[in-house]
Amino acid sequence: MLANILYITVLFLFLLSLMAIIYKRNLIKLVIALNIAESSVNLFFIVLAYKPESMAPIFTLAPAIEDLRMVLPAPQALILTNIVIGFATTALMLVLAVMTYGKNQTLDVRRLKGVEEHD
Amino acid sequence: MTEQIPIVIIVLPLIAAFLQPLMAFFSFKTRDAMIIALLLAVNVMLFYLIPPIALAGKTMYYTLGAADPRSFTPQGLDFPIRIVLKIDAFSLFTGIIVGIVTITTFLFSAGCVKNEESKKYFTTLFLLFTSGLLGMSFTNDLFNFFVFLEIASISGAALVAYDRRSKHSPYAAYKYILISTIATTFFLFGVALCYAQYGSFNIQYIHSVLKYSYLDKIALIFILLAMAMKAGAVPMHFWVPDTYSEAPAPVSAMLKVSGMVSLCAMFKFAFTLFGPSANGTGVNYQTLGWIIIVLGVLSMFIGVTMALIQHDVRRLMAFHAVSQTGYMLLGVGVGIAVMGGGESTAFKTFGKIAITGGIFHIMNNAFYKNLLFLTSGVMERRFGTRNLNSMIGMGHGDTLTTVVFMIGALAIAGIPPFNGFDSKLMIYESVYKFSPTLAIIAIFVSVMTLASFMKVFYSAFMGPGRDDLIVDKEPLTVTASTGLIVLAILIVAAGLFPGLVIDYIVQPAVEALTGIR
């Protein structure tokens, strides 16, 4: 149980964000929900790569080959990419939410009613 | 020289996108000409790859950053550690669709988007979108696929909101980016589940060691669901009408292609990632096939019934986009289900034809849907509205638009001399042998498609010419007409000589996808 606490956290965060995406109606809160989902996936990658009592994967710090214990470098590079991508999507979504508010004076999806009532 | 082509195809639009601010030294005309030349070069390279790959039935690898890019594992290890691009006949097929649609859409938009200062952002985003879609078709690495998917989603959402005067476009773009981000997060979660077990992102490597455990089943659901969401299959189709109708016309055409590429990727993952591997473990094709068939029939039927009652020309076409996606899902789904049945004679007689029809329909649909979206852009510009009730008599002024709209409408309804007929006939025939009910539903949907396009044709193009209703009388520029004419010629040519297209492009793609010759 205690060994799996991190995986349980990942699952909890993912389900929490899904619940928020389904039940929240404010455009800004949806952005927050997506950020939580992203964080849960990032945390999942970190947990996968982590090995207890191991070193950062830096070539010059590498110990002798017999006690070589390093964390996996690939997932760390990947989540750095994912954090940057998440930043881009968050920024774009917030800009679009602000523009939506400017044109419709509301952020509530129930009052935005889709886009069918044009001209 | 040939071995460097795959990366050049992806990188050319990417570099050109970020060079746009520098290219402001030139006039808009020069910039447009340069980008058309660049997209033409991309197309030439794609077609240049057909003989050595599609016709010879070979697979080409490009390992990024390796001394010898052609080898799959350049370090001498027995697993790949670098990002690998894989160009087989199927990814080439996807790339060709993207290449042709991109150049025709750009020709149209170069003549149609107003030459103002913000046009350089349009061009930048358009080229980024192209680069993302080409990358999605070529990559063999799950995480790299995710990155290209995000490039395409972010630039696509920004393009949807390009027209800032429109009241609803920011909300439409918000919907698109919300759905895209949910889909990509699901996809990344599925990728993480694969990585947790096999320690690699390479599709081919994961497939060769696939255990098909419970985690793999969850990953399969996450990955295929994300792709179906991006393609707009029915339970996840609610964003399609809003986004496609609010985006500028060339952007709707590009979004449609992004849906087609996602659909191709979905089939690619179903076969080459989770399909039965060498040691015999993999997804049950019969179950998967029936799930895809159900998605397809629902998409076809719900899409077309919603389209019939629309008064907005763009929403009507967007619902048809959903309904046409159903045909591809139905064709390929029937093929997968027949493959899972285990009878090789049944697969040879009609299962393979069903898959070929479904894959061929992806190509045909990309062409005629693109043409229809572009003509709807002309209609919208003439009358200043998308409401069909306030359009009349466009056939008097715009002969070219009328003719190409007729070609597109007849092609989508599956009338003989056009390309929609060939692929739809292949789907009907093979699906009838599998299950007559499904074939009857498909034919019925086709009839309803014809009915709703007749409605558009009668209300917008027929009737007396009313000059007082027309807002913008400016005739189409030469470049915009060229884009429309090229697409119309392709539709008629593929309709008259379907055998050539199938032999050279589609059949090798199906063989590369299913692995059965």
The CATH number given to whatever domain includes residue A64 is: 1.10.287.3510
Which residue of chain B comes nearest to A15, CA vs CA? B186
State the Cα–Cα distance between residues B63 and B138, nearest whole angstrom.
12
pLDDT confidence tier of residue A75, bands split at 50, 70 and 90:
confident
Residue A105: pLDDT band with limits 50, 70, 90: confident
Question: Hey, is the C-beta of B195 within 8 angstroms of any chain A C-beta?
Answer: yes
What is the ipTM score, two decimals? 0.92
Is A56 inside any structural domain? Answer: yes
Asked if residue A117 belongs to a domain, the reply is no
Q: Which residues of A touch B386 (CB under 8 A)?
A: 118-119
b/e burial code for range B97-116 (CB count within 10 A of at least 16 → b): bbbbbbbbbbbbbbbbbeee
Strands B84-87 and B60-63, bridge-based pairing: antiparallel
Cα angle: B464, vertex B468, B471; to 5 degrees: 115
With a CB cutoff of 8 Å and minimum separation 6, the contacts of B164 are A99, B170
Predicted local distance difference test score (pLDDT) of residue B432: 92
| Residue A8, domain member (yes or no) | yes
* Domain span at A68: 2-111
Q: For residues B432 and A54, which has the higher predicted lDDT (pLDDT)? A: B432
- What's residue B322's pLDDT? 92
Task: List all residues of chain B from 198 to 227 with a beta carbon under 8 Å from chain A.
Answer: 199, 201
Q: Could you say which of A34, A92, A115 has the minimum Cβ distance to residue B185?
A: A34
> pLDDT value at position B466?
80
- What are B338's two structure tokens? 């027949």
- Is there a domain that residue A118 lies in? no
Task: Tell me if A90 sits within 8 A of B178, measured CB to CB.
Answer: no
Q: Are B10 and B131 in contact (CB under 8 A)?
A: yes
Is B128 in CB contact (< 8 Å) with chain A?
no
B321 closest CA partner among B376, B284, B270: B376
Query: A99 vs B387: CB contact, 8 Å cut-off?
Result: no
Number of structural domains, chain A? 1
What DSSP state is assigned to residue B398? -
The answer to whether residue B19 neighbours chain A at the CB level (below 8 Å) is: no
Q: Domain for residue A116, yes or no? A: no
Tokens of B496: 């008259």
Share of chain A above pLDDT 70, in %: 93
A contacts of B242 (beta carbons < 8 Å): 114-116
For B439-475, write each residue's pLDDT tens digit.
Answer: 999 999 999 999 999 989 998 888 888 888 888 778 8
Residue A87 lies in a domain: yes
Instruction: Give the pLDDT score at A114.
Output: 52
Q: C-alpha angle A17/A18/A19, rounded to 5°?
A: 90
pLDDT confidence band for A116 (50 / 70 / 90):
low
Contact call for B386 and A118, based on CB within 8 A:
yes
Helix (H) or strand (E) holding B41: helix B28-48
CB burial of residue B468 (10 Å; 0-12, 13-18, 19+):
exposed
With both helix axes pointing from N to C terminus, report the angle between B352-383 and B419-434 in degrees, rounded to the nearest 10.
140
Alpha helices in B113-233, H assignment, sequence order: 119-138, 142-160, 169-198, 203-208, 214-231
**What is the per-residue pLDDT for A119?**
44
Chain B residues lying within 8 Å of A38, measured CB to CB: 185
Instruction: Report the gap between the CA of B196 and the closest CA in chain A (Å).
Output: 6
Structural contact between residues B193 and B218, judged by C-beta atoms closer than 8 angstroms:
yes
Low-confidence ranges of chain B (pLDDT < 70): 74-75, 115, 278
Among residues B227, B220, B272, the alpha carbon closest in space to that of B516 is found at: B272
- Is B174 in CB contact (< 8 Å) with chain A? yes
Assess if residue A82 is contained within a domain.
yes
Q: Which helix (H) or strand (E) holds B62?
A: strand B60-63
What's the pLDDT score for residue A113?
66
**What's B477's DSSP letter?**
P
For B309-354, write each residue's pLDDT tens digit.
888 899 999 999 999 999 999 999 999 998 887 777 777 788 889 9
Q: Would you say residue A62 has pLDDT above 80?
A: no
Task: Reduce the DSSP state of residue B213 to 3 states and report it.
Answer: coil
User: According to the model, what pLDDT value does residue B175 have?
Assistant: 92
A19 part of a folded domain? yes
Beta-carbon contacts of B41 under 8 Å, excluding residues fewer than 6 positions away, are: B12
CA–CA separation, A38 and A46 (whole Å): 13
pLDDT value at residue A117 = 52
Q: Classify residue B463 by its DSSP letter.
A: S
